[in-house]
Amino acid sequence: MDGQEVYYVEVLLPLHLPGTYTYRVPRELNGEVSVGKRVVVQFGQKRMYSALVRRIHTEAPKWRTKYILSVLDERPLVTERQMLFWEWMAAYYMCYPGDVMAVALPAGMKLASESAVSIHPDFDGDLSRLTKYELQVVNLLTEYSTMKLDDISRAIGVQKIMPLMRGMIEREVVMMDEELRERFKPRKSTYVRLSEAYAGEEAQRRLFDDLEAKKRTKQVDLLMQYMQMSGFGKELVPKRELPQVSALQTLIKNGVLVTEEREESRLEHFDADSLVPVESIKLNEEQQAAYSLLSSPLSPHTTHLLHGVTSSGKTEVYIKIIDEQVRAGKQVLFLLPEIALTAQIINRLRRHFGDKVGVYHSRFSASQRVEVWRRTATDNEEARYQVLLGARSAVFLPFRDLGLVIVDEEHDASYKQQDPAPRYHGRDAAVYLAHLWGAHTVLGSATPSIESYHNAMEGKYGLAVMAHRYGGFNLPKVEVVDMKTATRQGEVHGHFSDKLLRAIRDALAARQQVILFQNRRGFSLRLECDDCHHIPQCVHCDVSLVYHKATNSLRCHYCGYSIPVPEECPACHSTHLRMTGIGTERVEEDLQIMFPEARVARMDLDSTLQKNQYIELLNDFAQRRIDILVGTQMVTKGLDFEHVSVVGIVNADNLINYPNFRSFERAYQQMTQVSGRAGRHGDAGQVIIQTYNPGHQILQKVEDNDYEGLYHDQDNERRVFRYPPYYRLVEITLKHRDNEVVSAAADWFATELRGAFGQRVMGPEYPLVSRIRALYLKTITVRFERNEAIADAKKLMMQMADELVKQDGWARVAIHFDVDPC
């Protein structure tokens, strides 16, 4: 940029605001400003933000503009392509680019005068590295622990606080306060080592001789085990991996073995020379055929669907195609629906690609995310990540050269962002991202979404099929148990059929493991008065409260409202309160009573609230420290355990009877997926599905592993009843404290919409849960034919929404658009 010319910039703010804002560039910054860098601007009365330069021009606006205050980055942080991606996302999912920016940039890169900072826990306290102002900041934060940037700026008399902070955040002297809450707590474990007194062979021989002379055979045995596991005293051994016998306690008490608390490393470490070369993977015939299709430069498709049954070895095929890209110096984005799945996949990828694998997801701290962001974009090829693994937000990483996108478990509903905007689908966004890069996409699943399979059937996507399990193992045998008949015949105990109990007993006797799926958490789903049938409800939401035994409370699963369990009916004071419907807590407790010797654990939202708890649970299960794992849909997903022989679905009916056009598709997917956890490394897999409706078509299809049949029926229904993939849905939700206001506003909106789109508009209606967090809800759904161009229609709908909130008394009506709702 010319040093003398007057320039203006259009900047994007990470806020829910339409469009960009114009600022003037002070001449002395002409040389520094460029597209994609962050600049500090004043916005509103007093607030300062780091904004992103979208465009530079010389067209002076008609109104007076403020100057940008400083430039934060030496080189652009965000590329033109990323910004195009954001703009596409905003337009497609009907929100503002600022909404996208707010989720796309890691928190550590979005500074605002309102942001609070504190001392980074890893700061080594070396004050000599700090400048005068930095030292003042550190002193302030030592005194007040957290402060807003604004306040720091005033206290030390430095206006350009953001550039100062940026440097301190990067060097991990301070951190953004939101990191505090999610700070990573390393897991500590007790390790055992041999006392220094017994270092050296000579001393060890004397120790053994001595114990043997005293006939301490149990101690000798244990010590021998320890010696083997520790490479003859060279390494620490986790205490829990040794037999928990009294001899261990004695050896520790006598100072022969010493215990030590250590951090357990979360990831295995991989030395460059311990990497397993990808060539050593030998694909079987089916895998080879799939691989050839996916990697063929002659394939007419840029997107392929890999439909492989559970345990057919999709991951090994992915590894092969990733390897091609890595060798060519390109980057690969590998998406997973849920981070619970990442631990296993990370280790499988790191075994082959070592330090080239970067992991990115929202449970990481902000500084970890900034680090991954940097290593994705870096010029330094040595340090650059080439395989980026993450949940949906990884689509926002600043790729240098994206060659391939893999979306594993592409059917999974958790790819869809619910709140806040952008309500995007990670899979669909990834397909678009690949398109922007001219990269290829592979969507993988054992139970593809109807949409993706439809695209494959229409020839839009290429299709690779793997119909058999790797290793020649059979798919597990699925049995449907009719609970009605079983009850009549006295073959039900509690909530379990004799058949399921027998299968569990046999599995435990054979030292195998069991997974039980129950899609409700809590102990009982509701409390009901036997006399007046009153059921305690949430005061803020239109739902019944769920009984949680662990906390002895009734809780709302929508807003968290919670009350102690009442001793009598709040309506009629009767003491005959009955619990109905069961959740995971109840299943866990009943099983523990029936199998007292088994180690039972539960995996659901309540048991994995704390960071890494789910990793620990999965680890414990993989290490066979748990015999029976009870859980919600968290246990259904792509996990690969060796010793699971039985999978039970406690109640299939509440999966099937969910009022949504996808409910059959989803029920089939969940049941088939959880079944797929059984018998992955042997033939003995057995699945037992309990139901009161054994003739249901979906159960038949799961039993027969008949995906094609499911697709055929569902695709047909979707066409007839005008749902995706034949139609595109836009669901509009209006919320307000006052039921009458929301109803009137929704009626107005629906009338406007009908004026523009006629019969395509459905509603307004109350959704299934019509009040959440004290707000009343109404929804309107608009359906467009698949081939209609609807970019303009979307813009028009957003204008109508803007119009609506300008009307008297409607300013506080919240309006959400959900494009392609799940």
Applying CB under 6 A, which residues contact ligand ADP? Answer: 281-284, 287, 308, 310-316, 470-471, 638, 640, 680
The nearest distance, CB 24 to ligand ADP, in angstroms, is 55
Beta strands (DSSP E) in 278-362 are 303-308, 331-335, 357-360
Q: Choose from Zn ion, ligand ADP, none: what does 532 bind? Cβ within 5-8 Å by kind.
A: Zn ion
627: which residues sit within 8 A by CB, 6+ positions away? 508, 513, 514, 595, 598, 599, 600
The nearest distance, CB 813 to ligand ADP, in angstroms, is 46
Tokens of 208: 């053994």
The nearest distance, CB 739 to Zn ion, in angstroms, is 16
Toward ligand ADP, which CB reaches closer, 312 or 779?
Answer: 312
The nearest distance, CB 773 to Zn ion, in angstroms, is 7
The nearest distance, CB 658 to ligand ADP, in angstroms, is 26
The nearest distance, CB 669 to ligand ADP, in angstroms, is 14
Tokens of 73: 């980055």
d(CA 499, CA 479): 10
479: which residues sit within 8 A by CB, 6+ positions away? 499, 686, 687, 688, 689, 703
Toward Zn ion, which CB reaches closer, 395 or 554?
Answer: 554
The nearest distance, CB 485 to ligand ADP, in angstroms, is 34
Toward ligand ADP, which CB reaches closer, 73 or 323?
Answer: 323
Toward ligand ADP, which CB reaches closer, 70 or 310?
Answer: 310
Nearest to 649 by CA among 481, 491, 512: 481
Q: Is residue 14 reached through a cis peptide bond, with omega within 30 degrees of 0 on the bond before it? A: no
User: 3-state DSSP call for residue 417?
Assistant: coil
Q: Choose from ligand ADP, Zn ion, none: what does 454 bind? Cβ within 5-8 Å by kind.
A: none
Q: How many residues does the chain have?
A: 822
Burial of 402 (0-12, 13-18, 19+ CB in 10 A): buried
Q: Choose from ligand ADP, Zn ion, none: what does 540 bind? Cβ within 5-8 Å by kind.
A: Zn ion
Q: Choose from ligand ADP, Zn ion, none: what does 529 bind? Cβ within 5-8 Å by kind.
A: Zn ion
Q: Cβ of 144: how many Cβ atoms within 10 Å?
A: 12
418: which residues sit within 8 A by CB, 6+ positions away? none
Toward ligand ADP, which CB reaches closer, 462 or 638?
Answer: 638
Q: Choose from Zn ion, ligand ADP, none: what does 534 bind? Cβ within 5-8 Å by kind.
A: Zn ion
Beta strands (DSSP E) in 88-228 are 116-119, 146-148, 174-176, 188-194
* Residues binding Zn ion (CB under 5 A): 529, 531-532, 534, 538, 540-541, 556, 558-559, 561, 569, 571-572, 574
Q: Is residue 564 reached through a cis peptide bond, with omega within 30 degrees of 0 on the bond before it? A: no
Q: Give a three-class secondary structure readout of 636-661.
A: HCCCCCCCEEEEEECCCHHHHCCCCC
Burial of 182 (0-12, 13-18, 19+ CB in 10 A): middle
Burial of 736 (0-12, 13-18, 19+ CB in 10 A): buried
Q: Choose from Zn ion, ligand ADP, none: what does 314 bind? Cβ within 5-8 Å by kind.
A: ligand ADP
The nearest distance, CB 531 to Zn ion, in angstroms, is 5
Toward ligand ADP, which CB reaches closer, 338 or 589?
Answer: 338
Q: Choose from Zn ion, ligand ADP, none: what does 316 bind? Cβ within 5-8 Å by kind.
A: ligand ADP
The nearest distance, CB 282 to ligand ADP, in angstroms, is 6
The nearest distance, CB 521 to Zn ion, in angstroms, is 15
The angle subtended at Cα 324 by Cα 323 and Cα 330, nearest 5°, is 95
Q: Choose from ligand ADP, Zn ion, none: what does 262 bind? Cβ within 5-8 Å by kind.
A: none
Toward Zn ion, which CB reaches closer, 569 or 652?
Answer: 569
Burial of 760 (0-12, 13-18, 19+ CB in 10 A): buried
User: 3-state DSSP call for residue 248?
Assistant: helix
The nearest distance, CB 295 to ligand ADP, in angstroms, is 15
- Strand 771-772 and strand 524-529: the pairing is unpaired
Q: Choose from ligand ADP, Zn ion, none: what does 538 bind? Cβ within 5-8 Å by kind.
A: Zn ion
User: 3-state DSSP call for residue 180?
Assistant: helix
The nearest distance, CB 59 to ligand ADP, in angstroms, is 54
Toward ligand ADP, which CB reaches closer, 344 or 691?
Answer: 344
The nearest distance, CB 265 to ligand ADP, in angstroms, is 22
CA 341 vs CA 346, 355, 360, 368, 407: distances in Å: 9, 19, 13, 19, 13
Toward ligand ADP, which CB reaches closer, 467 or 769?
Answer: 467
The nearest distance, CB 182 to ligand ADP, in angstroms, is 30
Instruction: Determine contact, residues 782/797, Cβ cutoff 8 Å.
Output: yes
Q: Choose from Zn ion, ligand ADP, none: what does 556 bind? Cβ within 5-8 Å by kind.
A: Zn ion
- Strand 727-736 and strand 814-819: the pairing is antiparallel
Q: Choose from Zn ion, ligand ADP, none: what does 670 bind? Cβ within 5-8 Å by kind.
A: none
Nearest to 355 by CA among 317, 403, 394, 387: 387
CA 194 vs CA 212, 236, 619: distances in Å: 18, 8, 26
Q: Choose from Zn ion, ligand ADP, none: what does 315 bind? Cβ within 5-8 Å by kind.
A: ligand ADP
User: 3-state DSSP call for residue 557?
Assistant: coil
Toward Zn ion, which CB reaches closer, 288 or 574?
Answer: 574
Toward Zn ion, which CB reaches closer, 268 or 530?
Answer: 530
DSSP lists the bridge partners of residue 775 as 772
Q: Choose from Zn ion, ligand ADP, none: what does 464 bind? Cβ within 5-8 Å by kind.
A: none
Q: Give a three-class secondary structure readout of 670-716.
A: HHHHHHCCCCCCCCCCEEEEEECCCCCHHHHHHHHCCHHHHHHHHHH
Toward ligand ADP, which CB reaches closer, 109 or 357?
Answer: 357
Name the closest residue to ligand ADP (Cβ).
313
Instruction: Determine contact, residues 81/132, Cβ cutoff 8 Å.
Output: no
Toward Zn ion, which CB reaches closer, 388 or 772?
Answer: 772
Toward ligand ADP, which CB reaches closer, 396 or 453?
Answer: 453
Toward ligand ADP, which CB reaches closer, 270 or 661?
Answer: 270
767: which residues sit within 8 A by CB, 6+ positions away? 733, 777, 778, 779
Instruction: Determine contact, residues 48/42, Cβ cutoff 8 Å.
Output: yes
Q: Choose from Zn ion, ligand ADP, none: what does 310 bind? Cβ within 5-8 Å by kind.
A: ligand ADP
Q: Choose from Zn ion, ligand ADP, none: what does 132 bind? Cβ within 5-8 Å by kind.
A: none
Toward ligand ADP, which CB reaches closer, 405 or 587?
Answer: 405
Q: Choose from ligand ADP, Zn ion, none: what does 558 bind? Cβ within 5-8 Å by kind.
A: Zn ion
